[in-house]
Amino acid sequence: MEYRGEMIVKNITVMEEFILLGFSEFPSLQEFLFVIFLVIYICIILGNGLIILITNVERALQTPMYYFIGNFSFVEICYTSVTLPRMLKNLWSQKRNISLLSCAAQQFFFIILGITESFLLTVMSYDRYMAICNPLYYPLIMNQRMCVQMVIGSWVTAIPLIIGQTYQVFSVSFCGSNKLNHIFCDMPPLLKLACGDISGAESFLLIDCLLFGLIPFLLILYSYSRILSTILKLPSITGRSKAFSTCSSHLIVVCLYYGSGITAYLQSMYNYSGRTDKIFSLFYSIVTPMINPMVYSLRNKDFIQSMRKLFSKSVG
């Protein structure tokens, strides 16, 4: 019994760093993947940066809806900047090691920014609800002060819980291999390397999914059920189509973000598969932020007109 206890202690390693395997199973595609992800990162920065610029410069877009869209685009840039530069570095140098502290910081900021996106999407749905269902009260309720408070609340609300979650994950012991079968530091693959009791960390993950994923998603669905009910009561077909057009872009982004995110985390909790989880993670952490600027700009007439106006000024 004493010998067995000594063996268990020896097998528990104090991890100083992890190795992010990423796409190491495709050694011949490393350069190709580097180019692809670099182009995607540039597109994300340029696309979302353009939205931030236009929503701040053009007076026609100085409304709560575009204020939230501009903030959402800023979060998208930060969100991808937490993971993509490290991925590009790993692909270029073929050195995939990441220190324990850097891994914890990456997980913390990735989750915080993901939750901020979730809250901002909820705030944007509430904005559309007020604009369509309560147009008379809309200017009074959705004033500048309220909009700023909503954005700040979206950023800071989850910080205390995520600090506790990050501490819970990195306070467990890791044993055996330090190879993390993922593209960045995230809870499910980290817990696969943990030893001993991880029920506390798993509880934090479940609370995280419920409070910051499922509940905001249900609030968005409720808002749009009320919006849809109001739109269908409008007597004018033109009014209906205009109301639908102001909501369709946001709905597409909501479906992309929550669809891939919730699916990835639920699968990770109950049936973790490295390759499948990498694909889902790529989708909600990289592909969605790249698509969002196109969704908001190409489907929005006001934005297209403001973009043309801005370009004509710069060319002239």
**Residue labelled with tokens 């467990």:** 172
Task: Pull the structure tokens for residue 279.
Answer: 């694909």
Q: Can you give the pLDDT at residue 155?
A: 93
Q: Please name the residues in contact with 162: beta carbons below 8 A apart, sequence gap of 6 or more.
A: 108, 111, 112, 115, 208
Domain membership of residue 294 (yes or no) is: yes
Task: Pull the structure tokens for residue 234.
Answer: 């409008």
Q: Per-residue pLDDT for 73 more than 90?
A: yes
Domain membership of residue 123 (yes or no) is: yes
Domain membership of residue 9 (yes or no) is: no
Tell me the pLDDT tens digit for each residue of 254-312. Answer: 888 887 776 766 666 566 556 677 777 888 788 888 888 888 776 677 778 877 777 77
Domain membership of residue 95 (yes or no) is: yes
Domain membership of residue 205 (yes or no) is: yes
Domain membership of residue 226 (yes or no) is: yes
Higher pLDDT among residues 139 and 189, named by residue? 139
CATH number at residue 145: 1.20.1070.10
> Where residue 189 falls among pLDDT bands split at 50, 70, 90?
confident
Buried b (16+ CB within 10 A) or exposed e, 158-169: beebbeebbebb
Structurally, how many domains does the chain consist of? Answer: 1
For the packed helices 144-156 and 64-93, what is the interaxial angle rounded to 10 degrees? 30
Higher pLDDT among residues 42 and 209, named by residue? 42
Question: Rounded distance, CA 101 to CA 109, Å?
Answer: 12
Q: Can you give the pLDDT at residue 121?
A: 92
Q: Is this model's pTM higher than 0.85 or not?
A: yes
Domain housing 189: 18-310
Higher pLDDT among residues 45 and 269, named by residue? 45
Domain membership of residue 13 (yes or no) is: no
Domain membership of residue 5 (yes or no) is: no
